[in-house]
Amino acid sequence: MKPCPFCGAELRDSVIKCTRCRRSLRGDPDAEPDPFAPPAASSTAHGSEFDGSARLPALPTPLPVATAPAPAPPVATPPIDEVWSAPRPHSSTAPSVAGRRAMPTAARRWGPDPWMLLAGLLLAGAGVMAWLAIREPWVHLTVSRDATDFEPALVLEFTMRGQIAFAGTAGTALALALVAFGGIWCFYGLQRGWTMPTITHPALAVIICLVGLAMSALSALVWYVWEDAMVVRSATVDLSMQEMQAILDQQPNPLVEVQRLSGLMTFGGMMVAALCVSCLAWWAYRRRGS
């Protein structure tokens, strides 16, 4: 056995490299010291030799051990029943498109519209009958004046047709308008899926019928409606137009009795029938949009 000249460890005689400090015992300068070997003993301040005392190796500095962070405290969550039952504020910023829908809310139905077809046929028929009634006698006018205190004196009599007065001209226009509405309703009644324009709305036909009824009532109650026609037709009673106008303008005014004839009654009846048909068409018009 022999001691190591560097660290003083007891070694066998055959060892040429210290097992503790890893230094060569032969004194080779190329030998590298062991990194884990303790540092060699330093010389004294007076340059004395190594005293050969054994020193313990310095322990390496321990690396810091990474520790896991402390877990966060659990967040209290509400029960499932409260989550689903509690109202949540609406946070959507998308614009509402409820009033700008491109598709219709109801499916359009296709096929013939029997009610509109029926209304169109009946209205066209009523318009034709009203137009024919204008060519018939409307009123019988009896003009008289006070001759005595008891009996009036007969001056003249007239039988007037509707076509010779302004009432007949206006009635012709109304009758033709009803015929036109009836034809249009028949056309759109062939297919209920077609959209009817606003100009064919049954409310316009109702207005035409009301105007026709008002004109019929005036023609039957007010003789001034026939004044111009009486002046124009004065030759039928052997009077000039000036003489007829003088009779009608005299004071006090002459008594004029108006008797309704078949033409006026037919025209008024057709206006009433057309009014009922227009109400039926209005119902069918609203039914098409539903």
Task: List pLDDT tens digits, range 205-234.
Answer: 999 999 999 999 999 988 888 888 888 888
Angle among Cα 45, 46, 47 to the nearest 5 degrees reads 95
| pLDDT surpassing 90 at residue 51 | no
In this prediction the pTM is 0.59
Q: Which of 224, 240, 235 is nearest to 165 (CA)?
A: 224
Average pLDDT over residues 21-27: 79
Q: Can you point out the beta strands (E) in the chain? A: 2-3, 10-11, 137-146, 152-161, 255-260
Higher-pLDDT residue of 191 and 107 is: 191
Give pLDDT, residue 49. Answer: 41
Higher-pLDDT residue of 90 and 118 is: 118
In the chain, which ranges are continuous DSSP H helix? 80-85, 114-133, 166-189, 202-221, 227-232, 241-249, 262-289
Please tell me the distance from the alpha carbon of residue 104 to that of residue 102, in angstroms, as a whole number.
7
| pLDDT surpassing 50 at residue 95 | yes
Q: Which of 160, 171, 163 is nearest to 130 (CA)?
A: 171
Mean residue pLDDT of the chain comes to 78
Give pLDDT, residue 81. Answer: 52
DSSP string computed for 157-190: EEEEEGGGSHHHHHHHHHHHHHHHHHHHHHHHHT
Give pLDDT, residue 88. Answer: 59
Q: Rg for the chain (alpha carbons), in Å?
A: 62
Residue 255: both structure tokens together: 């008594």
Q: pLDDT > 90: what percent of the chain?
A: 33
Average pLDDT over residues 101-112: 60
Residue 19: both structure tokens together: 């097992």
Give pLDDT, residue 280. Answer: 94
Give the confidence band of 255 by pLDDT, cuts at 50, 70, 90.
confident
Higher-pLDDT residue of 10 and 177 is: 177
Higher-pLDDT residue of 208 and 54 is: 208
Higher-pLDDT residue of 42 and 235 is: 235
Residue 133: both structure tokens together: 């009634």
Please tell me the distance from the alpha carbon of residue 166 to that of residue 228, in angstroms, as a whole number.
9
Collapsing DSSP to helix, strand or coil, 119 comes out as helix
Give pLDDT, residue 110. Answer: 73
Residue 9: both structure tokens together: 């460890």
pLDDT digits (tens, 9 = 90+) for 133-191: 999 999 998 888 765 555 666 778 888 898 888 888 999 999 999 999 999 999 999 98
Give pLDDT, residue 174. Answer: 95
Please tell me the distance from the alpha carbon of residue 159 to that of residue 120, in angstroms, as a whole number.
35
Higher-pLDDT residue of 11 and 54 is: 11
DSSP for residue 264: H
| pLDDT surpassing 90 at residue 29 | no
Asked if 168 and 113 touch (Cβ cutoff 8 Å), the reply is no
Average pLDDT over residues 108-131: 90
